[in-house]
Chains A and B, each alone.
Chain A
Amino acid sequence: KQEVTQIPAALSVPEGENLVLNCSFTDSAIYNLQWFRQDPGKGLTSLLLIQSSQREQTSGRLNASLDKSSGRSTLYIAASQPGDSATYLCAVSSGGFKTIFGAGTRLFVKA
């Protein structure tokens, strides 16, 4: 049974800081891993999708890496801004295309 864990559960940083969010999963037989952003009470916005054959994906100030063998992914945010404040969710798609989410990391960037 796939389990996804995100650490830390919450993070508060000053504006301009570079930061790393962590995601770990128990079953390495995955198809892809997706990072999402969720603002309070809203739906999910896809940030990056990494296929199982890829090692990383980049979009603007965001970079996500994937290490299937160790069951880990990281989301790197460069030069954080107050607008980056949100909950970041990691989702892993594996057997049967069931997509399992972590509980998320709540990020607060202070101006």
Chain B
Amino acid sequence: DAGVTQSPTHLIKTRGQQVTLRCSPKSGHDTVSWYQQALGQGPQFIFQYYEEEERQRGNFPDRFSGHQFPNYSSELNVNALLLGDSALYLCASRPTGFYGYTFGSGTRLTVV
């Protein structure tokens, strides 16, 4: 049973560019959340998607946007990249209800 799959694993972008990260949730999971983890820090909540809608959002600017597709997969888009956007981006999924999250291995984004 495949867990949470994220692509790509690594990415290098230039300041000002746009990037799209992708996530396929674990089978049977319909809720997807995205996190940003800077070096040496805990993951910071970006937003959560359920039923193709953004349900919760953390303290991130509108440059960060997302989408969830009918098959529950999700994308994270970041526009006008800044050097400070360099981080590990983690996708997590869970079934509806009071369940814990399963995390993917992450996408390492470097902005130069």
Check if A and B associate.
yes
Residues in A lying within 8 Å of B, measured CB to CB: 4, 6, 31-32, 34, 36, 41-46, 49, 51-52, 89, 91, 93, 96-104
B56 engages A96 (CB within 8 Å): yes
Q: How far is the CB of B70 from chain A (nearest CB, A)?
A: 21
Residues in B lying within 8 Å of A, measured CB to CB: 4, 6, 31, 33, 35, 40-45, 48, 55-56, 58, 88, 90, 92, 98-106, 108
Given contact pairs A31-B98, A43-B90, A98-B56, A36 touches B108 in the complex (Cβ within 8 A): no
Instruction: Give the most central of B42, B58, B88, B101: most A CB within 10 Å.
Output: B42
B42 engages A46 (CB within 8 Å): no
Q: How far is the CB of B91 from chain A (nearest CB, A)?
A: 9
B106 engages A43 (CB within 8 Å): yes
A98 engages B41 (CB within 8 Å): no
Q: How far is the CB of A44 from chain B (nearest CB, A)?
A: 4
Q: How far is the CB of A14 from chain B (nearest CB, A)?
A: 25
CA distance A49 to B108 in the complex (A): 27
A41 engages B108 (CB within 8 Å): yes
CA distance A99 to B45 in the complex (A): 7
A98 engages B42 (CB within 8 Å): no
Q: How far is the CB of A80 from chain B (nearest CB, A)?
A: 22
Q: How far is the CB of B7 from chain A (nearest CB, A)?
A: 13
Q: What are 17 A-B interface contacts by the 8 Å CB criterion?
A: A34-B101, A43-B4, A43-B6, A43-B103, A43-B104, A46-B100, A46-B101, A46-B102, A52-B98, A89-B42, A91-B43, A91-B101, A93-B98, A97-B56, A101-B42, A101-B43, A101-B45
